[in-house]
Amino acid sequence: MGGPGGAQRAVASILRALPEDSVDVVARRQISGGQMSGARRVWDSRHWRWIGSKSASGVNGAVARIVNPARAQLFPEYDVHVRLYQGVNVNRAVRAKVRLLVPSGNQVTADDAHGYDFVALQAPDNVGLVDAGPRLTLLPPPLYPLSDRADQPGTPVPSEFCLTAFNPYGAIKGVDDLERALEGASLPIVWCHTNRGIDTHVPPALREHPMLVHVPDPTPAELRWLYERCAAYLCFSKSEGFGWSIADGLRHAPVVVSRDIGILTHPEARSLSGVVRTETWDLDWSVMPTARGNLPDRDLSFQAPETFRRNLMALVESAP
């Protein structure tokens, strides 16, 4: 349950971390992202099982109040219901021991959180996304390698470069900081982005910039190749719910430059080597640390799949 980008990645990672469990996924639509193994059912949100279940007022709300309890009784009780904020709201149509709402970088009001047992934060700084009142729990998503292999992309890239990967769908992604960074960058910046599933807009000034190389729609294997060969991974985001591109940088890149957001706000991330935290992109590139080809030994066990599963099961076991 989620949208393209980080939410889609979160869904795929959660499914991969629960290989022995039966999981139902409700989605408005599917975009490419690999095959799902195990006991998985993918439901279209327009299926009779789910359609209109969110309605709370008027005729539709009256129908939902009658139909939702019947819908819930038709299926066994779930151990846990997880809704990513952008995903379809089917909370009233399911029975579950524990109900979790994941902000996914969005502001969550008390009304949004009504009917859920916890707002599940992907990172400590997500506290700022949630209004006072709802119960909070920290549930970092499981982190896997981008791909089991690394493939050189079809788009030629320089022998030395910095890397960034984001979709420019809003100011929060930091396009203005990318423009600022290009003014003083000592190396070309390779920018990976896609327009599959969402509306994006590349500013005219960045379409043919001499220090910017566009790599559209890279595969996970191509992304891994770029991470492993860049001088530094640059995240320009102003805010992140989790920050999957930062997490990939921590796993695959020698240096990560970012604001102190998302995954970087975990206590376990404070001591990770090869991380430059900045609130401004007026950087002195001449002193930027680089470690080309040498990946620091970073302990990311706090994001391990087994840690996620253990935390999730603890929430289920705590249910009355």
From CA 172, how far away is CA 166, in angstroms rounded? 11
Structural domain contains residue 82: yes
Task: Check residue 3 and give its pLDDT.
Answer: 39
Q: Does residue 157 surpass a pLDDT of 80?
A: yes
Could you tell me if 239 and 179 lie in one domain?
A: yes
Structural domain contains residue 153: no
Could you tell me if 96 and 172 lie in one domain?
A: no
Could you tell me if 284 and 309 lie in one domain?
A: no
Could you tell me if 123 and 29 lie in one domain?
A: yes
Task: Check residue 92 and give its pLDDT.
Answer: 84
Weakest-pLDDT range from 8-17, 146-155, 166-175, 276-285? 276-285
Could you tell me if 294 and 170 lie in one domain?
A: yes
Could you tell me if 257 and 126 lie in one domain?
A: no
| Structure tokens that stand for 254 in this block | 């020698």
State the residue range of the domain holding 262: 162-303
Could you tell me if 97 and 186 lie in one domain?
A: no
From CA 48, how far away is CA 62, in angstroms rounded? 16
Q: pTM of the predicted model, to two decimals?
A: 0.88
Higher pLDDT, 44 or 277: 277
Q: What is the pLDDT of residues 165-220, one digit of tens each?
A: 998 877 889 999 999 999 888 899 999 998 665 556 788 889 889 999 999 989 99
CB 33 within 8 Å of CB 8: yes
Could you tell me if 127 and 197 lie in one domain?
A: no
Distances (CA, A) of 68 to 23, 53, 81, 88, 314: 20, 6, 15, 15, 28
Higher pLDDT, 58 or 233: 233
Structural domain contains residue 250: yes
Structural domain contains residue 154: no
166-183 residues labelled b (16+ CB within 10 A) or e (exposed):
bbbbeeebbbebbbbbbe
Structural domain contains residue 30: yes
From CA 134, how far away is CA 107, in angstroms rounded? 13
From CA 22, how far away is CA 3, in angstroms rounded? 21
Structural domain contains residue 22: yes
Determine how β-strand 23-27 pairs with β-strand 40-44.
Answer: parallel
Could you tell me if 293 and 242 lie in one domain?
A: yes
Q: What is the pLDDT of residues 14-64, one digit of tens each?
A: 999 999 899 989 887 766 555 555 557 887 777 777 777 766 655 465 566
Could you tell me if 134 and 171 lie in one domain?
A: no
Q: What are phi and psi of 225, to 5 degrees?
A: -55, -45
Task: Check residue 1 and give its pLDDT.
Answer: 33
Could you tell me if 172 and 109 lie in one domain?
A: no
Q: What is the pLDDT of residues 110-142, one digit of tens each?
A: 999 999 999 999 999 999 999 988 899 999 999
Structural domain contains residue 152: no
Q: What is the CATH number of the domain that holds 258?
A: 3.40.50.2000
Structural domain contains residue 148: no
CB 235 within 8 Å of CB 243: yes
Instruction: Give the number of domains in the chain.
Output: 2
Q: What are phi and psi of 110, to 5 degrees?
A: -60, -35
From CA 73, how far away is CA 75, in angstroms rounded? 5
Q: In what helix (H) or strand (E) does residue 189 lie, and over which residues does it extend?
A: strand 189-193
For residues 102-111, average pLDDT: 93
Could you tell me if 138 and 24 lie in one domain?
A: yes
61-98 residues labelled b (16+ CB within 10 A) or e (exposed):
eeebeebbeebbeeeeebbbbbbbbbbbbbbbbbebbb
